Structure 1
């Protein structure tokens, strides 16, 4: 294998594709080849030409065209294609100007001359090239003597390359405009010849000098047109392949990440962004009601009949290139698509973008389930054309595929929740029909026996000494059985009505205290201050209030249990206070208290390193309050007894 072939194979694949699909390298070959031709003609001319004054002019023109060709070559995009790693500066500049296409994307046709961010500067560069080539041909025309213009110049073919350059960059209009400008200098040589030997022009010489360049420009523009059609077709095929591959990847991601919704969204968003050739992809998952009751309570109808929706999860996936950067995501557009349920497209100019042809293209699509927006997919890019129908179709297909996967995850979670709820209901029913009934009968029998024993003690002094210990033990058995019955009833309390909003915290506590009084025979005084806020606000706030209510309910439940089991109290008080910012509850009794000084209890330790009473009740109350950002205090009442005070904020 030759060295040249090895070097050619060593070029990156993307560079090879650019070389195969870019005709601009013909421009460089033509310009250098025709310059060498002019060099040979001028230096190899006979003595009669060398003695002519035009000879020295042609030598100066050789130097000028050499500098021109070197500058054009060094700053030509084609030169960076052949040597993509020539300098870090050029590489960095090209990274900023490129759109960072995917690995299999066919590149655009590279222009022959340097490209700037300003179209007027580009026109000026091509116009300057035409002027230089035209003047060179004009002043070197007399070197040929017959004719002393146009084809008589050794630089005539060199000058034709300026029409090639314009035709490759601007197709027919650019090529014909450059050819017309070039021919003006030929006509200038016909009517106002440059200094040199005199010559009488004829129609053949004039026609030959004027026709060649326009025909060559038309041919070059036609070749570029065919190549552009091929490139467009190739891009279309590659786009279809890329999108099909992305859809397949999304399917694989759905199978692998079916148990992790967040990771599923992240991976799928990246696959959709690559497949659609977007610079940014936005995935917004809209909250959906848990059940019909919550839907009626939370999703109130607005004036225009649209439900109040909120974003549950929003993921942005951007392309990992430093430039050009997209502006921050517009929340207003996302909210509009959610509320209106319609797609949103825009293609607008941004301030501060170097390339005036680049605009900010956006496409946001809503996805529905049961007539309600469940998800929004948004695509954003800086490009020279708005998103087409194929990109919209791909985004719609991928979004529907992702929505089905998310719905399957939601149904799976609901199935698990329903199974757990059904199991809890079954256990509660078994407790009610089995253990609760047995404990209740035990409590009744123990209470009957205790009453009978006390009657015997009162009726017979002889048997009192023997029966009194039995009566005391039966009294303790009655207390223990009632405590067991209360504990059993606690497990059967369901917070579903409170969480769904069909009942309030005040109602739940009232029912709980009524049942506690029935079982324990201890009076409980309930005082409610303030007004409980309704759950007619947004979904997050309503769910937060339901969480706070559930925590307050369980704290009261545990405090009553501790007071009943350990305090030996005769009365209990529960104060419930509602404020705009939080919910407070205080539970205190007139019992024996904790006797913290005697037992050296540190009430500030929150039960982390010691147990007060028994079990983990106090620690559980602290955990419930702290999980929601609240506090819980345990205080001894000076008159006797213990006070449990909890405060939990309702704000998120």
Structure 2
């Protein structure tokens, strides 16, 4: 017996249906209407009015007509009642199938949201006036039935009618659907038909002397029923609302726990974090969920000046429905909310169906910058509510905290690495660089001493000449070693800090190169960095550009010193409104000129010809959206040119 009961509940009446039936007043209405119709049938069949003996045939035909009318009306109301659609979803077919599907979709939406829906006695439409007309028509039909059936008993109006209690069910329906206002209006309309029967008797009525008991009894019952039903409906609605809020809170807490677990299980990779969290956030609540991370980690300050929707985005998406049911235009919607900087809450109806696509796109900010966009879409009967917005806001905030933790962890690692690199750079400066410099000075001193011996004594010239030549090579090698050591030291420590400008940094670099290599160098400046706002000169973008140009100039000077046999170097800085360019020109033996039209092919050929040096310069420039090329000088030599937008 217990197994049969469980099978019946699990297969035929879902738990959510039973939950809604506990608080739905509509089946009370159906029980009342059918019971009172049977009561009227019994009264008409088994009670014969002795005072209308001459009109028995007329009495029978009118009674039969009213019974047929009320039976058809009750049957129609029953078939369209929401409670019947819940209990027997397969009972309806044909023209009523769409109404059934809409009811199922509404029930499914209520299940997904954990709601306990108080369904009214009659099926509802999305048109409020049409709903009012349905309940008004029911009042008119029940009032007319009561009016024409008044002469069947005494008094010939109101409570004397066998359909009086049947007609009171229309007041029940209006009070359950529209509460006090609707119930009292329906009661007033129903009482008007009772008064009509009092003053204008229906056909077949006999003489009647009005009395206060009959009049009060016919007019007071329906308002009392309206007030009681409206009060009970309000109690049920409050109970349903509290249960709905309780389930929603529990569901939200469970979802947030799953989101927290997903965030804890994620590593330091942003993509993995988004993939894990998107499934936990969706979790049956939304048909499609999109997370767009506005990646400002590369250049947070520079992104403030450009339109925010142009910032690089990292997007993840989870979809439960095919694209034919839910078109994918999330990218355009994300761009729209980023441009307007306002949340997007829309509901788009699908054809003539009583459902549509609900969309909700939220912007999550940190330090007045949009860093995350959460987009949710579902096929629903109604738009998203504040509960959905609140849930997405809480989940998105948790995700932002996790992303910020990843950023802080990366910054901590970077700071530790910078500190270690600075320590190594100091060790190189105080150790190897100083020793190499002393070795270079000693070699130069020995070479000069050997040259003086050669000039002073011709006898010793032949013996000292080879030594002087070797000492000269030692001087060159020591200077190259010192330059390489200095390059390593500058590669480790930060280049631009405080108020150091690009011009000052490159000027110091060329001055040091000239002192070590003995190759004359000169810095040319076209324009000035004064054309830029002071705020731009203190951004991370400017520091990145300065570091990139320093590395490119460093590599170009090294190549010219080692391989080009140059005797002069000129470096030109061009400050332009939207970019900065640097040219490194030498008068050496030149370099095989490569066609730069195809960037990938040129990069591959540069890598083959020069190892990682020129290829590294190319990559540094293109990483910041710039260009890099090698050009011949008209009088011989090479021009290395790099430009970066700013």
TM-score bracket, normalised by the shorter chain, equals: 0.7 to 0.9
Matched, 1:32 2:34: yes
Match of 1:73 among 62, 74, 78: 78
Determine the C-alpha separation between the residues in 2 that align with 1:441 and 1:554: 26
How many pairs does the alignment contain?
A: 613
**Deviations along 1:595-650, whole A, 9 cap, x unmatched?**
67xxxx77875351465764310111111122222221112324222211122222
Maintained 8 Å contact 2:147/2:202: yes
Determine the C-alpha separation between the residues in 1 that align with 2:277 and 2:298: 24
Alignment-derived partner of residue 631 in structure 1: 627
Bigger shift: 488-497 or 615-624? 488-497
Matched, 1:583 2:583: no
Matched, 1:619 2:598: no
Determine the C-alpha separation between the residues in 1 that align with 2:361 and 2:210: 61
Q: CA deviation at 1:492?
A: 1.6
Alignment-derived partner of residue 485 in structure 1: 482
Match of 1:245 among 254, 273, 276: 254
Shift in CA distance, 41/523, structure 1 to aligned 2, threshold 3 Å: same
- Give the alignment of 1:483-632 within 5 angstroms: 483-493=480-490, 502-532=499-529, 533-534=531-532, 536-537=534-535, 542-594=539-591, 605-609=601-605, 614-632=610-628
Q: CA deviation at 1:122?
A: 2.5
Maintained 8 Å contact 2:43/2:162: yes
- Give the alignment of 1:141-540 within 5 angstroms: 141-142=150-151, 144-200=152-208, 203=211, 204-257=213-266, 259-261=268-270, 405=402, 408-493=405-490, 502-532=499-529, 533-534=531-532, 536-537=534-535
Question: Equivalent residue of 1:576, what SS?
Answer: strand
Determine the C-alpha separation between the residues in 2 that align with 1:124 and 1:257: 57
Question: Equivalent residue of 1:646, what SS?
Answer: strand
Matched, 1:649 2:645: yes
Bigger shift: 576-585 or 473-482? 473-482
Shift in CA distance, 68/409, structure 1 to aligned 2, threshold 3 Å: same
Determine the C-alpha separation between the residues in 2 that align with 1:595 and 1:399: 55
Q: CA deviation at 1:176?
A: 2.4
TM-score (norm 2): 0.78
Maintained 8 Å contact 1:298/1:536: no
Q: CA deviation at 1:218?
A: 2.8
**Deviations along 1:389-421, whole A, 9 cap, x unmatched?**
x998x9998788667655544432232121101
Match of 2:636 among 637, 640, 645: 640
Maintained 8 Å contact 2:418/2:493: no
Question: Equivalent residue of 1:52, what SS?
Answer: helix
Determine the C-alpha separation between the residues in 1 that align with 2:36 and 2:314: 60
Bigger shift: 630-639 or 497-506? 497-506
Question: Equivalent residue of 1:526, what SS?
Answer: strand
Determine the C-alpha separation between the residues in 2 that align with 1:476 and 1:191: 133
Question: Equivalent residue of 1:446, what SS?
Answer: helix
Shift in CA distance, 471/80, structure 1 to aligned 2, threshold 3 Å: farther
Question: Equivalent residue of 2:640, what SS?
Answer: strand
Question: Equivalent residue of 2:431, what SS?
Answer: helix
Alignment-derived partner of residue 339 in structure 1: none
Shift in CA distance, 398/603, structure 1 to aligned 2, threshold 3 Å: closer
Q: CA deviation at 1:74?
A: 3.6
Determine the C-alpha separation between the residues in 1 that align with 2:366 and 2:285: 18
Shift in CA distance, 101/320, structure 1 to aligned 2, threshold 3 Å: farther
Q: CA deviation at 1:104?
A: 6.6
Determine the C-alpha separation between the residues in 2 that align with 1:315 and 1:521: 54
Alignment-derived partner of residue 90 in structure 1: 99
Determine the C-alpha separation between the residues in 2 that align with 1:464 and 1:44: 153
Shift in CA distance, 454/498, structure 1 to aligned 2, threshold 3 Å: closer
Shift in CA distance, 418/49, structure 1 to aligned 2, threshold 3 Å: farther
Bigger shift: 229-238 or 162-171? 229-238
Question: Equivalent residue of 2:539, what SS?
Answer: helix
Shift in CA distance, 367/629, structure 1 to aligned 2, threshold 3 Å: closer
TM-score (norm 1): 0.77
Bigger shift: 268-277 or 234-243? 268-277
Shift in CA distance, 617/482, structure 1 to aligned 2, threshold 3 Å: same
Maintained 8 Å contact 1:536/1:542: no
Alignment-derived partner of residue 134 in structure 1: 143
Maintained 8 Å contact 1:498/1:505: no
**Deviations along 1:159-205, whole A, 9 cap, x unmatched?**
11101101111223322221221122122222222111415255344
Bigger shift: 100-109 or 560-569? 100-109
Question: Equivalent residue of 1:111, what SS?
Answer: coil
Gapped regions of structure 1 (runs ≥ 5)? 301-307, 336-343
Bigger shift: 14-23 or 499-508? 499-508
Shift in CA distance, 298/110, structure 1 to aligned 2, threshold 3 Å: closer
**Deviations along 1:282-335, whole A, 9 cap, x unmatched?**
999897999xxx99x9999xxxxxxx9x99989999998989x99987669858
Determine the C-alpha separation between the residues in 1 that align with 2:455 and 2:45: 146
Shift in CA distance, 504/99, structure 1 to aligned 2, threshold 3 Å: farther
Q: CA deviation at 1:27?
A: 1.2
Maintained 8 Å contact 2:424/2:492: no
Q: CA deviation at 1:57?
A: 2.7
Matched, 1:62 2:67: yes
Maintained 8 Å contact 1:54/1:140: no
Bigger shift: 554-563 or 442-451? 442-451
Bigger shift: 641-650 or 237-246? 237-246
Determine the C-alpha separation between the residues in 1 that align with 2:24 and 2:625: 65
Bigger shift: 493-502 or 483-492? 493-502
Bigger shift: 379-388 or 173-182? 379-388
Question: Equivalent residue of 2:583, what SS?
Answer: strand
